[in-house]
Amino acid sequence: METKIPEATAKRLPLYYRYLNNLLSANKLRVSSTELAEAIQVDAATIRRDFSYFGTLGKRGYGYDVHKLIDFFKKILDQDTLTNVALIGVGNLGHALLNFNFHKNSNVRISAAFDINPTIIGSIQSNVPVYGMTQLQEQLQDQQIEIAIITIPAAIAQEVTDKLVQAGIKGIMNFTTVRVSVPQTVHIQNIDLTNELQTLIYAINHD
Amino acid sequence: METKIPEATAKRLPLYYRYLNNLLSANKLRVSSTELAEAIQVDAATIRRDFSYFGTLGKRGYGYDVHKLIDFFKKILDQDTLTNVALIGVGNLGHALLNFNFHKNSNVRISAAFDINPTIIGSIQSNVPVYGMTQLQEQLQDQQIEIAIITIPAAIAQEVTDKLVQAGIKGIMNFTTVRVSVPQTVHIQNIDLTNELQTLIYAINHD
């Protein structure tokens, strides 16, 4: 599967995939782009354009076959293989993420956590083992982990990021407020909750 | 301040604001768009265009005056007034958000939490009072809260959203996997962590 698709389309794939699985659970075997549009609040034209990147998957007047779409997206999203990710920093937010550990049918799982707090190193938190930072390189290699979530203080964000890059990490989900620097080969997904909330406040105040 | 600016620009304002405050703490009184660009990883041309929406604030060869920029963004972002927000659902993620309660200089604060669990209703969690869902309308009105964060099970997301809209909420930060329906006058900010992680995995696998 080597189609080069736009980033905005890629971002919607997991959303499509999750909703299609909901449809299947409800025994719904076909769906129109209009129905999809209403459910996931993306306009129908965008959905049809997104789907067109993968070839013609729908039939006019019939809609899309839910089974076929799911099989198709499953392959693109590599949902057949479980992806293990690491969590760096088991503070409040870290704990919440361990407990949440992503959705059951997402095939993503935090399999190792890391912290500097000696009272939790060596313990199992929400079914996930917590290692010391000195074990980072070894564990990431042993567990073939390529993705890390960082929920650490801003002051050490860059330092820890450098260690992760050194250990071969290819993607970082960054919950800190720091925009960390990484080589071009490493992907960063910034989740800045304060920023999101302020954007919402700004939108409301400037309506 | 009634300039109509693009949404993408609006989204970057809190980021600029936060970074400028860091500069001030470090006694740095001027900054170039290139320096800003490196620190927050937005390209310099975008920064200059963003700033141009607010009039010419920088001087060629001198850069921008940090004090002036902060004063300016503070006004736009209504950072002079504290915005109280409500949290609906004090589960794991809810607890983590209460504890986090946004950045000190963001002027946003969760001032009321709501849940259906009788063992925490009436208690104070991380300095925030927890009310029952029956007190929702009354408390939101009394505290003039217009923004709510929902960290509740997907199954009740729409039902709770309807109650929030009825109670006069203008903006919702949605951590559930459901794309809730709201009237056009209500703003929604979806934070779908599973989706963000899958997008990252997709990017890495398709490099």
Higher pLDDT, B150 or A28: B150
Of the partner residues A15, A170, A185, the one whose CB lies closest to the CB of residue B195: A15
Give the β-pairing of A171-174 and A187-190.
Answer: parallel
Separation in Å, CA of A60 to nearest CA in chain B: 26
Give the β-pairing of B58-59 and A30-31.
Answer: unpaired
Size of interface A-B (CB pairs under 8 A): 168
Domain locations along chain A: 7-76, 83-195
Q: If DSSP codes are grouped into helix, strand and coil, which group holds residue B26?
A: coil
B198/A14 touch (CB, cutoff 8 Å), yes or no: yes
d(CA B98, CA B107): 15
Is the model's pLDDT at B1 over the cut of 50? Answer: no
Integer distance in angstroms from the first to the last C-alpha of chain A? 43
Per-chain mean pLDDT for chain B:
87
Of the partner residues A103, A179, A201, the one whose CB lies closest to the CB of residue B177: A103
Q: Residue B56: what pLDDT? A: 56
Beta bridge mates, A63: A59
Residue A155 per-residue DSSP state? G
Give the β-pairing of B58-59 and B63-65.
Answer: antiparallel
Q: What residues of B are in contact with residue A189 (Cβ under 8 Å)?
A: 196-197, 199-200
d(CA B66, CA A120): 42
Burial class of residue B129 (count of CB atoms within 10 Å of its CB; 0-12, 13-18, 19+): middle
Q: What residues of B are in contact with residue A153 (Cβ under 8 Å)?
A: none
Inter-CA distances, A171 with B26, B196, B197, B198, Å: 31, 12, 9, 11
Is the model's pLDDT at A162 over the cut of 90? Answer: yes
B192/A13 touch (CB, cutoff 8 Å), yes or no: no
Specify the fold of B83-195. Answer: Rossmann fold (3.40.50)
B198/A147 touch (CB, cutoff 8 Å), yes or no: no
Model confidence pLDDT, tens digit, residues A65-113: 888 888 888 877 766 678 899 999 998 889 888 887 776 666 789 999 9
A14/B195 touch (CB, cutoff 8 Å), yes or no: yes
Residue A115: phi and psi, rounded to 5, are -155, 170
B187/A198 touch (CB, cutoff 8 Å), yes or no: no
d(CA B118, CA B121): 5
- Are domains B7-76 and B83-195 of this chain identical in fold? no
Segments in B103-166 forming alpha helices (H): 136-142, 157-166
Interface test with A, best of B198, B205, B207 (most A CBs within 10 A): B198
Which chain A residue is nearest to residue B158, measuring alpha carbons?
Answer: A39
Separation in Å, CA of B112 to nearest CA in chain A: 16
d(CA A36, CA A20): 9
Of the partner residues B39, B92, B191, the one whose CB lies closest to the CB of residue A99: B92
Q: Residue A1: what pLDDT? A: 43
Q: What residues of A are in contact with residue B197 (Cβ under 8 Å)?
A: 85, 102, 106, 108, 147, 149, 173, 189
* Residues contacting residue A191 through CB under 8 Å, at least 6 positions apart: A173, A174, A175, B191, B193, B196
Residue A43 per-residue DSSP state? -
B189/A207 touch (CB, cutoff 8 Å), yes or no: no
Q: How many CB atoms lie within 10 A of CB B166?
A: 11
A102/B10 touch (CB, cutoff 8 Å), yes or no: no
A199/B189 touch (CB, cutoff 8 Å), yes or no: yes
d(CA B28, CA B6): 29
Integer distance in angstroms from the first to the last C-alpha of chain B? 43
Residue A106 structure tokens:
């997402």
Residue B133 structure tokens:
């869902």
The dotted CATH code for B7-76 is 1.10.10.10
Is the model's pLDDT at A147 over the cut of 80? Answer: yes
A207/B200 touch (CB, cutoff 8 Å), yes or no: no
Separation in Å, CA of B165 to nearest CA in chain A: 14
A204/B194 touch (CB, cutoff 8 Å), yes or no: no
pLDDT confidence bin for A2, thresholds 50/70/90: very low
d(CA B121, CA B129): 8
Segments in chain B forming alpha helices (H): 7-25, 33-40, 44-52, 66-76, 92-100, 136-142, 157-166, 193-205
Nearest to A101, CA basis, from A40, A153, A156, A149: A149
Give Cα B143 distance to the centre of its chain.
19
Q: Residue B4: what pLDDT? A: 67
- E strands, chain B, are 30-31, 58-59, 63-65, 83-88, 108-115, 124-125, 128-132, 147-150, 171-174, 187-190
Residues belonging to the binding site of A for NAD(+) are 89-94
Nearest to B107, CA basis, from B142, B67, B79: B79
A200/B179 touch (CB, cutoff 8 Å), yes or no: no
Answer whether B167's CB lies under 8 Å from B141's CB.
yes
Which chain B residue is nearest to residue A104, measuring alpha carbons?
Answer: B194
Of the partner residues B10, B93, B205, the one whose CB lies closest to the CB of residue A96: B93
What is the arithmetic mean of pLDDT over A120-135?
A: 95
Q: What residues of A are in contact with residue B174 (Cβ under 8 Å)?
A: none
Answer whether B197's CB lies under 8 Å from A102's CB.
yes
Tell me the longest C-alpha to C-alpha distance in chain A: 62
Q: What residues of B are in contact with residue A22 (Cβ under 8 Å)?
A: none
Model confidence pLDDT, tens digit, residues B31-79: 888 888 888 888 888 988 888 887 756 777 788 888 888 888 887 776 6
Residue A156 per-residue DSSP state? G
Higher pLDDT, B180 or B1: B180
Query: Can you tell me which residue has the tokens 């408390």?
Result: B139
What percent of chain A has pLDDT above 70? 93
Model confidence pLDDT, tens digit, residues A42-66: 888 898 888 888 775 677 778 888 8
Give Cα A116 distance to the centre of its chain.
25
